[in-house]
Structure formats: C-alpha cells, structure tokens
Amino acid sequence: MLRFFLRRFAVAVAVALTVLTLAFLLTRVSGDLAISIAGPNATAEDVEAIRIAYGLNRPLWVQYFDWLGRAVQGDFGESYFFRDRVSNLIATRMPVTLTLGFVGLAVALVVSLPLGILAAVREGSWVDRLVGLVAMIGQAMPSFWLGLVLMIVFGLQLAWLPISGNDEWQGYIMPGVVLAFSAIPSLTRLTRSGMIEALASDYIRTARAKGLTRLSILVKHGFRNAAIPVVSIAAVQLGFMLGGSVVIETIFALHGVGYLAWESISKNDFPVVQAVVLVLAIIYIGLTLLADLLNAVLDPRLRTA
C-alpha cells in the first residue's frame, strides 16, 4: 500500500508542478503585465517604474523561480487591485467555494445513486429509459441557463429562496443544485453500468442462493462493488464543481474563490488569477489522489496495478 501511495503521490507532484508552470507562463504570454497594471493612460515612464517595482524587468526564468520558491511556501504575492496578500484573499473566500462544492456533490449523489440503482434493477424497462432521458437532459442543459431559470421561478416568482448572496444557508441551495446537474448524468450512468455488471456476477447468484433479502443483495453485495468507479468519478466531479464555481458564483453573487477569479480577471489582477488557478488545481489533484487511495482500499487488486 505504501508503494502504491508513493507512486500516485509522485505523479500528483509532477502534475502540480506542470500546472504551476503553466499558470505562470499563461499570464506572461497574455501581454505586458506592466502595461496592464499601469492602465491605458499611463506614460512610458510610469510603465517602466511599475516594471522595476514588480521585478518584471528581470529575465523570465528568474521571475519564474522566484515565484515558484514563494508559491511552494504559500506566498503568492500581493494583489494589484485589492491591495492585500493573495493568500489572505483566497483563505477568506475558500470556505464559500468549498461549501458550495460539497453541497453540489451531496445533491448529485443523493439524486444519481438511487436513479442509477433503479435503472440497473429495471434494465430495459420504461424506468430505465426515463432515467436515461433525465441524464441526457442534465448533460445538455447549460448551467448558467438553469441558474437563471431557478432564480426566476424560486427566487422571484415563488420567493422561496434568496437569489444572491450567502448570508443564509438557503443561499447555497440553488447554486448547489445547478452544480449538481452537471455531475448527475455521469454519476447516474456509471452507477447503472456498475450495478448491472455486479448483479450479473457469480457472487450475486451465490447470495441469492443463500436466501439473502433483495435489499441486502443490492446494497451490501451489489452496490459495494459497483461503488468503486463511482468513488473516482465523484472526486473528479467535485474538482470540476470547484473549478466551475466561477460561473455559478458570478451568477448568484457568492463571494467565493470563483467570484474572486472573475473579479481578478476583469481587473487584470494577475497574481490572484495565478494563485486561484494553482490552488484549484492542487485541490483537484488532491481529490484525485484521495480517490485512488480509497479505490485501493475498496479493491486490493488495484494496489498491484
């Protein structure tokens, strides 16, 4: 198990370094940072002064290794627009994004797992086709459009839920549902296919021969083995939700990391953009690593793969 963890951890570190490098380079190739910081009305002297003040006159590789050395210590510099440490901004906004992501994942699992199991048990029936139709609609529905519909119906017409802000816990319901809709189709299809394969296996026939109840066979024997790929995709979907929170947080005015990224992009606040990309990528990589470890616990055969 330790060897399996070390292999996966080495891959995770390599991917993290790649993302860190790309986050640095993409902000540099987008244009002259000094001009972006100075603004359109700045003189050449102003631009040069900013270039010197922020160290942008140094060779690119020097800037990279300087930023890399500070980034691995959690120091992402100072925001050009907010005039605060980038690490402080992210630490303040991150709880909102994490809460939204976990709410979205919880809603997705509560909806998709029963639907997938039901479709597998009723394979080929109208129930199975209806579940497939729901999954297809969820896959095709744009998240921003669904968010606006929910705001109009439940926020304005029915006035059941707040349409913006996170001052109350109800403010996470609609954005959480919107995030969940993007994950429900894949989780439902994966649960269905895993359950169909599990229910056709020899150990299920043995369990039936022993006289076990249908519920025990489905939950204890069938779903336990079908859940192995679901664990991986759930972790991946949570990473997608955190990354996709930029759109959802902007629509619902939730002041999380996604909204911070939108503000920073609109203000050319490149240190914050770099840090947000890196932090969300690190979280995504960590979730993927955790999913691999959980799968190895559930299925020991994966430890030697």
**CB of 230 closer than 8 Å to CB of 194:** yes
pLDDT for the residue 178: 87
Residue 298 corresponds to which tokens in the numbers above? 């559930």
pLDDT for the residue 40: 65
Of 40-54, 61-75, 119-133, minimum mean pLDDT range:
40-54
Higher-confidence position of 166 and 115? 115
pLDDT digits (tens, 9 = 90+) for 218-234: 666 667 677 777 777 78
In one-letter notation, the amino acid at residue 29 is V
User: Given pLDDT bands bounded at 50, 70 and 90, which one contains residue 2?
Assistant: low
pLDDT for the residue 211: 67
The backbone region for 131, taken as left when phi is positive above 0, alpha when psi lies in -120 to 50, beta otherwise, is alpha
pLDDT for the residue 126: 85
pLDDT digits (tens, 9 = 90+) for 163-197: 776 677 777 888 888 888 888 888 888 888 877 87
Residue 38's CB: how many other CB atoms inside 10 A? 19
Rounded-to-integer distance, Cα 270 and Cα 86, Å: 10
**CB of 237 closer than 8 Å to CB of 105:** yes
pLDDT for the residue 29: 67
Rounded-to-integer distance, Cα 217 and Cα 165, Å: 44
Rounded-to-integer distance, Cα 228 and Cα 3, Å: 20
**CB of 236 closer than 8 Å to CB of 287:** yes
Higher-confidence position of 69 and 38? 69
Rounded-to-integer distance, Cα 167 and Cα 272, Å: 24
pLDDT digits (tens, 9 = 90+) for 243-256: 777 788 888 888 88
pLDDT for the residue 232: 73
The full set of domains in the chain, from first to last, is 93-267 (1.10.3720.10)
**CB of 33 closer than 8 Å to CB of 270:** yes
pLDDT for the residue 301: 61
Mean pLDDT value across the chain = 78
- Partnered with residue 78 across adjacent β-strands are 85
Contacts of 119 (CB under 8 A, 6+ apart): 127, 128, 131, 132, 188, 192
Mean local confidence (pLDDT), 81-92:
83
Rounded-to-integer distance, Cα 137 and Cα 27, Å: 37
The backbone region for 74, taken as left when phi is positive above 0, alpha when psi lies in -120 to 50, beta otherwise, is left
pLDDT for the residue 212: 67
In one-letter notation, the amino acid at residue 154 is F
Mean local confidence (pLDDT), 51-63:
75
- Statement: residue 305 has pLDDT above 60: no
- Statement: residue 217 has pLDDT above 80: no
- Statement: residue 198 has pLDDT above 80: no
User: Given pLDDT bands bounded at 50, 70 and 90, which one contains residue 302?
Assistant: low
Residue 259 corresponds to which tokens in the numbers above? 């909204």
pLDDT for the residue 172: 84
Rounded-to-integer distance, Cα 51 and Cα 47, Å: 6
Rounded-to-integer distance, Cα 286 and Cα 235, Å: 9
Residue 22 corresponds to which tokens in the numbers above? 């790309």
Tokens 């299809």 sit on residue: 189
**CB of 245 closer than 8 Å to CB of 296:** no
- Statement: residue 215 has pLDDT above 80: no
For residue 304, with 0-12 CB atoms within 10 Å meaning exposed, 13-18 middle and 19 or more buried, which class applies?
A: exposed
- Statement: residue 299 has pLDDT above 70: no
- Statement: residue 134 has pLDDT above 70: yes
Q: Whole-structure pTM over 0.85, yes or no?
A: no
